[in-house]
Amino acid sequence: MRITRRTFSLTLMLSLAAGALNAAPNILFIAIDDLRAELGAYGADHIHSPHMDGLAERSLLFERAYCMVPTCGASRSSMLSGVRPTETRFRDFRSRVDEDAPWAITLPAHLKAHGYETISLGKVFHAMADNADAWSLPPWRSDAETYARSESQALTRQHKRGPLMEGEDVPDDFFADGQVALKAVSHLRRLAEDSERRHPFFLAVGFERPHLPFVAPRKYWDLYPPEIIALPTNDHAPAGAPAESIRGRTEISHYSDGPQDPILSKELSLALIRGYYATTSYVDALVGQVVDALDELGLADSTTIVLWSDHGFSLGERGYWTKHSTFEIVMRIPLMIRVPDKAEGERTFALTESIDLYPTLCELAGIPIPDTVEGTSLMPLLDDPHQPWKQFAIGRNGPGYTVRTNTFRFTEYSRNGKRLSRMLYDLERDPEETVNLSEAPYLQDVSEDLTKTLHRVLRETEALTPQE
């Protein structure tokens, strides 16, 4: 059932009357910042991620899950509203739902309206003030220092951002992410102990690492001796890639010791890769703290767990660093959904978009899906992970509008309705995207078909946008 705002309160009354709340599961939603799909669970044996790997063994793991926009605010706004980005909506890291799509009912607001206790810890919406009333309690963030060394903190005040990396011998809860994990555990304890509790909970826990700066306690750096770190094999831009395809190098130059030259030295590249791995393992340990608490408190059987990242990240692959591109390594995200007794330890190759999470959680909670939500519930995949599924996963970055099929990734760059350039990669034959085939004569029908698909979905999205 789909609803508009007009029928909203009526359906709420009906669902309350039907006693739907009694059966609704709790939801633990873990959002990780800039985590790419490079974990043990995804076949990356060089990454130390035992806790996320353990969660994957109890979850359905999505091999082909994608973000909507590869930058913080825009990705989170689209996922939490269930609304696709357009040329003017959800464009950059500052994007907010309450500014770009104020008519949208966000996922936490919708769950709260249907009787959930909704809690936001750490980075969930990019801006804390965005949809602040969607939460039952004021959204909470830690005010811990970003760095352990006082010199690094001084540099932060001077440059706005301190150094790219740090690995001091401090406890996990020295930094904000560690404090977020502790706060999550204390909320879970409160929720478990409240035997009078009549409402299910939606606990959103947002970790900031492995986003830059790569700061983690020393013990996580020690998991990765420098000699085991390797540079990517494809550290060059794809042959025939248009200039519009490569952006995002500037993020590194914003740090106090970040070089201005977009070509990083081998030494710095290796150090950054090591730092990314260290911060990934730090967050992995914190995920373990929260998930273990759920088990110890007896909440595991009544709680669905979603682990999601806002976008991927390039560590020098395709000749560039960070995000803000439409390459596979940046659009692809890790995604796990644990529903007790459903598809535990299985994996699916079904094409999945971040906007699919909103209707999935509505279906799981037994509540209606708002009319403006464009995703597709993933619940059928939890019953049968191998069934035929979506043909496309669509996203955007700046002037690039991109589509992933089971075989290809195609991007069209345009401005004011005029095409600038395009890219096509055959991911079956060329998974590392080394040759742009958009102008190859034998693939013209593919490029044309995917162009039509992008334009059709954009028209459908625009038709759903309320005209006020």
Question: Are 347 and 385 a contacting pair, CB within 8 Å?
Answer: yes
Q: Select which of 51, 67, 72, 362 is catalytic.
A: 72
User: Nearest-CA neighbor of 303 among 278, 347, 340?
Assistant: 340
Of 130 and 310, CB closest to Ca ion? 310
Residue pair 210/279 in contact by the 8 Å Cβ criterion: yes
Q: Which of 48, 51, 114, 126 is catalytic?
A: 126
Q: Which is nearer to Ca ion, 324 or 390 (CB)?
A: 324
Give least dist CB 211 to Ca ion, A. 6
Q: Based on CB atoms, which residue is closest to Ca ion, 142 or 302?
A: 142
**Residue 374 binding Ca ion, by CB under 5 A:** no
Active site residue 126: yes
DSSP state of 356: G
| CB-nearer residue toward Ca ion: 33 or 130 | 33
| 68 interacts with Ca ion by CB under 5 A | no
Closer residue to Ca ion in complex, CB, 284/310: 310
In 3D, which of 17, 201, 208 has the Cα closest to residue 108?
A: 201
The span from the CA of 37 to the CA of 115, in Å, is 34
Query: What minimum distance in Å lies between the beta carbon of 295 and Ca ion?
Result: 28
- Of 271-279, 302-310, 366-374, 424-432, the segment contacting Ca ion by CB under 5 A is 302-310
Whichever of 25 and 139 has its CB closer to Ca ion, that residue is: 139
Quick one: DSSP state of residue 212?
A: S
Count of residues that bind Ca ion according to CB under 5 A:
4
Tell me which of 208, 284, 310, 317 binds Ca ion, using CB under 5 A: 310
- Decide: 69 and 90 in contact? Cβ < 8 Å: yes
Question: Is 33 or 412 the residue whose CB approaches Ca ion more closely?
Answer: 33
Q: Least CB distance from residue 33 to Ca ion, whole Å?
A: 4
Run of H or E residues at 397:
strand 393-397
Which structure tokens are listed for 1? 């059932």
Phi, psi of 400 (to 5 degrees): -95, 130
242 CB-contact burial (10 Å; exposed 0-12 / middle 13-18 / buried 19+) = middle
Only segment of 198-206, 310-318, 345-353, 415-423 that touches Ca ion (CB under 5 A): 310-318
Pick the piece of the chain touching Ca ion (CB under 5 A) from 128-136, 195-203, 229-237, 303-311.
303-311
Q: Rule CB under 5 A: is residue 251 a binding residue for Ca ion?
A: no
Q: How far is the CB of 36 from Ca ion (least distance, A)?
A: 11
Query: In this structure, are residues 333 and 374 in contact, taking their beta carbons and an 8 Å threshold?
Result: no
Stretch that binds Ca ion, among 65-73, 260-268, 299-307, 444-452 (CB under 5 A): 65-73
Q: Radius of gyration over alpha carbons of the chain, in Å?
A: 22
Does 72 contact Ca ion by CB under 5 A?
yes
Q: How far is CA 364 from CA 231, 359, 380, in A?
A: 42, 8, 11
**Which residue do the tokens 């070509």 mark?**
263
**CA separation for the pair 55, 291 (Å, rounded):** 8
Residue 92's Cβ-count burial label (10 Å; 0-12, 13-18, 19+) is middle
- Given 30, 33, 111, 181, the residue binding Ca ion (CB under 5 A): 33
**34 part of the interface to Ca ion, by CB under 5 A:** yes
Binding site for Ca ion (CB under 5 A): 33-34, 72, 310
**Residues assigned a catalytic role:** 72, 126
